[in-house]
Structure 1
């Protein structure tokens, strides 16, 4: 994405659809388009409308669903503290509400852990799993939790301003930071500060510390899985990606050059092509199964 476009990100809340949650909360969601359902999960630092900036091509062929997490953006958490598994169950509630029996699931950063947990709990609901810049590790939870604690420390020390300055050089790749310069930095920081609150980030990060990455569970994933990483991702190296591929059956990986931890920001076309090709391939494969069975 060109640096001048960062100040023009569409973050408008255009819809007013909300799903009532247990405990008095509400889940803001957007549901548009036709075709196989593709559900996109926010990480802790983006809100639902941002997906419109990176899914224009996908929207031509697929039904796209995305939503604010329970205590994020236009969603309301209700009266009770939010646990990490609340996010998993909220996804199930939303799919039930929209009468989506099966979806292609796309997670980014920490929401790859939400996507993974949902797929393990409800494999019959997931046609294909895409993990974009995973935050969890195929080798254990320790590094992710150390990183999350460092982010919490920045948040407590200086609010969302300090946290953004901590995240920015980690999340975005060398090329974008140098090409975008001050303009890209200020535009992204302005969006970050205006859309996110200290309390919601704190609660989500604390909840994520209670979840175990459980590398052994990866071998029980039966859903076709695609991993998309940028080659400048701070979290996963090429060898860590290979560790994940070795653990997850029926998995593959795509690496986007000159992209970072949220590669759809840096290369929206490459991101959409990878997701679109994956979904189309699985749809084509699934459509041939009944014919083959009948022929037999």
Structure 2
């Protein structure tokens, strides 16, 4: 196992998957709360934090399988944020017996077609390369970061994103491998209990993703008022309450 991970607490295993442009610090406030009741595993995805950078197309789903096998975890609750939610969803579809519950926080979704507005925003960010300061400014000034960037955690968010951008300079490739067919075409096949959490301040694309997940047969939706895409950093206690309530019911 070459990925960096940390384990805390005891009990049912819960694996936390961080968002894109971040690392395990995405969970620095949520993980200690969950560790009061569960065995919590946080890790840096390939190309993030203290984990090695990809030298060939990354397969994040298989990385998660290797991690579970390494820790001898037969079945776990997966909690994925943004890109981490995409990984958790695809993993659940590929290895359903390895997942006991699924918690998704403003997840991305394989096969989802982004709006032209989103594509234009991403193009402006890409055109700013390699100016890290400009990339950070264009990225974090977006509406989905309005609340985090006016909070006491703005410096943490900016530093985490800067660290990620510096890390990508080490990547051998930006390509990745995902299961086929894409998850958007198979959501109705998710049979485990699923919790979907999203903040009120979000991109319209992320709200459209939420509507796609209504195909999941056993899913519960929760909106957290006064939060944006980085609800993990600004509202950890509310997340903790909703997640533990959900897990205790199962």
TM-score if structure 2 supplies the norm length? 0.85
1:189 alignment counterpart: 158
Change (3 A) 1:184 1:95: closer
Unaligned runs of 5+ in 2: none
Q: How does 1:110-121 map to 2 (within 5 A)?
A: 110-121=83-94
Q: Distance in 2 between matches of 1:146 and 1:207?
A: 24
2:136 alignment counterpart: 164
1:23 alignment counterpart: none
Q: What's the RMSD between the two structures over aligned residues?
A: 3.0
Q: Are residues 1:89 and 2:57 paired?
A: no
Residue 192 of structure 1 and its aligned partner are, at CA, apart by: 2.4
Q: Are residues 1:131 and 2:107 paired?
A: no
Unaligned runs of 5+ in 1: 1-18, 20-25, 283-296
1:11 alignment counterpart: none
Q: Secondary structure at the match of 1:130?
A: strand
- Select which of 230, 253, 256 maps to 2:224: 256
Q: Are residues 1:31 and 2:7 paired?
A: yes
1:268 alignment counterpart: 236
Change (3 A) 1:171 1:91: farther
Contact in 1 for aligned 2:53/2:170 (Cα 8 Å): no
Change (3 A) 1:110 1:278: same
Q: Distance in 2 between matches of 1:170 and 1:114?
A: 24
Change (3 A) 1:172 1:243: closer
Moved over 6 A (4+): 208-212
Residue 165 of structure 1 and its aligned partner are, at CA, apart by: 1.9
Q: Are residues 1:63 and 2:34 paired?
A: no
Deviates more, 1:52-61 or 1:189-198: 189-198
1:236 alignment counterpart: 206
- Select which of 163, 188, 196 maps to 1:227: 196
Structure with greater Cα Rg: 1
Contact in 1 for aligned 2:24/2:43 (Cα 8 Å): yes
Higher relative contact order (CA 8 A, sep 6+): 2
Contact in 1 for aligned 2:93/2:190 (Cα 8 Å): yes
Q: Distance in 2 between matches of 1:201 and 1:265?
A: 27
Q: Which has the higher helix share?
A: 1
Q: Distance in 2 between matches of 1:212 and 1:278?
A: 29
Contact in 1 for aligned 2:148/2:157 (Cα 8 Å): no
Deviates more, 1:87-96 or 1:159-168: 159-168
* Number of equivalent positions: 247
Q: Distance in 2 between matches of 1:68 and 1:45?
A: 11
2:112 alignment counterpart: 141
TM-score if structure 1 supplies the norm length? 0.73
Deviates more, 1:187-196 or 1:55-64: 187-196
Contact in 1 for aligned 2:17/2:43 (Cα 8 Å): yes
